[in-house]
C-alpha cells in the first residue's frame, strides 16, 4: 500500500521532468524543422548571434528564468514561448503520469504523451509559420498506427484471444487515418472550387490522418467540425472587434476576409479535447452509423 502511495507521488514528478525535457526538445523542433535545419547538429545556439549555449543555461524552464528572458551572449530577448511550452508539456505529462499511477495502462500513457506532444508542436509551428511539418503529421499518424497495433486499450478495445484485439485496434487506427484525411481532402477540394482559391492546406489533411490514427474515424470527423466551430468562436469576435473598434487604423496582418488563417491549431485543440475527455460523450453520437451500415 505504501509503495502505491509513494508511486503516485513520484510518478507525477517524473512526468513533469520528462515533459519539461521533451518540451525543450519541442522548442528545438519548432524552430528548426520549418527552417529545414537539422534537429541534432549543431548543438543549441543563440538564434540571434549563433553563439553556442552552455548546458547550464539550456536547462528546461530554469534556463529562461536564470537569464530573465535575455540571451547572455548578445542580450537579445528570448521569447517567453520557450518557457511556456516547457512548462505546459511538463504539466500535461505530469497529469498523464498521475493517471498512469492508478490505471497502469502503458498504451494509454505512451499514446497520451506522444499525441499531446505532436499536437502542441502543431499548434506552435502552425501559428508561427503556417506550416504543419510532415514529420509531425505523417510521423504522428505512423506512430498512432504502431501504438494502436501494440496497445488496443488506446481505442477501448476489449480482450479477444489470439491477438485479434491488436488487429482490430490497428484497423480502427488505419480506418481513422483514411477517413480523417480523405474527408478533409474532399471538403477542401469542394471549398476550393466554390471559393476559387485554396481553402485548406495539405498539412491540415495529413494532420487529420494523425488525429484519426489516435482517435479513430469518429474522433477525426468530430475534429473537422469541432475545429471549425472553435475557429469561428475564437476568430469572429476578433474580426468584429478589429472591424469596428479600429476601423480607421488598417494594420498589416489584420484579420479580414481572404486572409489565410491556420486551421491546424483549432484542429489540434479539438483533438486534444476529444482524446482527453470528450470521447466518452461523443462516441454515442455516432452509434446510429452502426445501425445504418449493418
Ligand atoms: Zn546571442
pLDDT of residue 255: 55
Q: Which residues of the chain have pLDDT under 50?
A: 1
Dihedral pair phi/psi, residue 192, rounded to 5°: -60, -40
Q: Separation of 64 CA from ligand 1 center, angstroms?
A: 14
Number of domains in the chain: 2
* Per-residue 3-state assignment (H helix, E strand, C coil) for 69-82: CECCCCCCECCHHH
Q: Identify the pLDDT of residue 248.
A: 56
Q: Which of 219, 201, 195 is nearest to 281 (CA)?
A: 219
Ligand 1 mean position, distance from CA 119 (Å): 29
Q: Given this model, what pLDDT does residue 176 score?
A: 96
What is the rounded distance in angstroms from the CA atom of residue 261 to the CA atom of residue 44? 31
Rounded to the nearest angstrom, the distance between the alpha carbon of 79 and the centre of ligand 1 is 13
Are the CB atoms for 25 and 91 separated by under 8 Å?
Answer: no
| Threshold 0.85, pTM exceeds | yes
Ligand 1 center to 17 CA (angstroms): 27
User: Can you give the pLDDT at residue 230?
Assistant: 94
**Helix, strand, or coil here: 40?**
coil
Query: What CA–CA distance (Å, rounded) separates 14 from 20?
Result: 10
How many whole angstroms separate alpha carbon 207 and alpha carbon 22? 20
Tell me, in angstroms, the distance from the centre of ligand 1 to residue 54's CA.
12
Compute the distance from residue 133 Cα to the ligand 1 centre, in Å: 27
Q: Are residues 59 and 121 in the same domain?
A: no
Q: What is the DSSP string of 228-256?
A: HHHHHHHHHHHHHHHHHHTTT---TT---
Distance 48 CA to ligand 1 centre (A): 5
pLDDT at 259: 67
Domain boundary among the residues 62, 81, 104 is at: 104
- SS3 category, 61: coil
**Does 292 lie in the same domain as 172?**
yes
In the reported structure, the alpha carbon of residue 45 is separated from the centroid of ligand 1 by a whole-number distance in angstroms of 8
> Taking ligand 1, which is a single-atom ion, which protein residues have CB atoms under 5 Å away?
46, 48-49, 51, 71, 73-74
Q: Residue 269: name the closest of 242, 236, 234, 238 by CA.
A: 234
Are residues 56 and 133 located together in one domain of the fold? no
Contacting residues for 110 by C-beta, under 8 A, at least 6 apart: 147, 151
- Taking the C-alpha atoms of residue 122 and residue 283, their distance in angstroms, rounded to an integer, is 25
Based on the fold, state whether residues 6 and 99 are members of the same structural domain.
yes
The pLDDT of residue 273 is 94
Q: CA neighbours within 13 Å on the CB side: how many for 112? A: 22
- The cell for 259 is 486572409
CA 52 to centroid of ligand 1, rounded, Å: 8
Task: Give the count of alpha carbons within 13 A of 141, CB side only.
Answer: 24
Helical pair 106-129 and 202-245, crossing angle rounded to 10 deg:
50
Residue 42: DSSP 8-state:
S
Same-domain status, 147 and 96: no
Rounded to the nearest angstrom, the gap between the alpha carbon of residue 188 and the centroid of all alpha carbons in its chain is 21
CB 74 within 8 A of CB 51: yes
Q: What is the DSSP-derived secondary structure letter of residue 198?
A: -
Same domain for 247 and 146: yes
Using the mean position of ligand 1's atoms as its centre, give its distance from the Cα of residue 7 in Å.
42
Same structural domain, 199 and 289: yes
**Cβ–Cβ under 8 Å, residues 72 and 57:** yes
- Centroid of ligand 1 to alpha carbon of 78 (angstroms): 10
Whether residues 164 and 122 share a domain: the answer is: yes
Q: How far apart are CA 270 and CA 263, in angstroms?
A: 11
> Can you give the residue range of the structural domain that contains 199?
106-294
Ligand 1 centroid to Cα of residue 41, in Å, is: 18
Residues 124 and 218 in one domain: yes
C-alpha cell read off for 288: 446510429
194, burial (CB in 10 Å: exposed 0-12, middle 13-18, buried 19+): exposed
State the distance from the centre of ligand 1 to the C-alpha of 57, rounded, in angstroms.
12
- Find the 76 Cα to ligand 1 centroid distance in Å: 6
3-state secondary structure of 144: helix
Output the pLDDT for position 258.
Answer: 59
Domain boundary among 104, 138, 160: 104
Q: 267 and 163 in one domain? A: yes
**Ligand 1: distance of its center to the CA of 59 in Å?**
17
Is 127 in the same domain as 78?
A: no
Q: Of 104, 125, 158, which one is at a domain's C-terminal end? A: 104
Is there a single domain that holds both residue 98 and residue 72? yes
Amino acid at each position: 500500500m505504501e509503495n502505491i502511495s509513494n508511486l503516485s507521488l513520484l510518478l507525477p514528478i517524473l512526468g513533469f521532468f520528462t515533459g519539461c525535457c521533451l518540451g525543450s526538445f519541442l522548442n528545438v523542433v519548432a524552430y528548426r524543422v520549418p527552417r529545414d535545419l537539422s534537429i541534432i547538429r549543431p548543438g543549441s545556439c543563440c538564434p540571434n548571434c549563433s553563439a553556442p549555449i552552455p548546458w547550464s543555461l539550456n536547462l528546461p524552464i530554469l534556463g529562461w528564468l536564470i537569464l530573465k528572458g535575455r540571451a547572455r551572449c548578445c542580450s537579445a530577448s528570448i521569447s517567453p514561448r520557450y518557457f511556456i511550452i516547457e512548462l505546459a508539456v511538463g504539466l500535461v505529462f505530469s497529469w498523464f503520469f498521475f493517471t498512469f499511477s492508478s490505471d497502469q495502462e502503458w498504451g494509454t500513457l505512451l499514446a497520451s504523451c506522444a499525441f499531446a506532444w505532436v499536437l502542441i508542436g502543431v499548434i506552435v509551428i502552425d501559428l508561427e509559420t503556417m506550416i504543419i511539418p510532415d514529420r509531425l503529421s505523417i510521423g504522428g499518424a505512423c506512430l498512432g498506427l504502431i501504438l494502436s497495433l501494440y496497445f488496443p486499450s488506446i481505442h477501448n478495445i476489449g480482450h479477444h484471444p489470439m491477438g485479434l484485439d491488436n488487429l482490430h485496434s490497428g484497423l480502427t487506427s488505419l480506418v481513422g487515418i483514411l477517413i480523417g484525411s480523405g474527408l478533409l481532402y474532399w471538403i477542401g477540394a469542394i471549398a476550393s472550387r466554390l471559393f476559387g482559391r485554396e481553402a485548406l492546406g495539405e498539412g491540415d489533411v495529413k494532420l487529420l490522418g494523425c488525429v484519426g490514427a489516435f482517435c479513430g474515424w469518429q474522433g477525426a470527423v468530430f475534429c473537422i467540425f469541432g475545429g471549425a466551430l472553435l475557429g469561428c468562436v475564437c476568430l469572429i469576435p476578433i474580426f468584429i472587434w478589429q472591424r469596428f473598434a479600429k476601423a480607421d487604423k488598417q494594420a498589416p496582418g489584420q484579420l479580414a476576409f481572404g486572409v489565410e488563417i491556420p486551421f491546424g491549431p483549432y484542429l489540434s485543440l479539438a483533438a486534444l479535447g476529444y482524446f482527453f475527455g470528450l470521447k466518452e460523450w461523443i462516441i454515442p453520437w455516432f452509434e446510429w452509423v452502426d445501425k445504418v451500415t449493418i
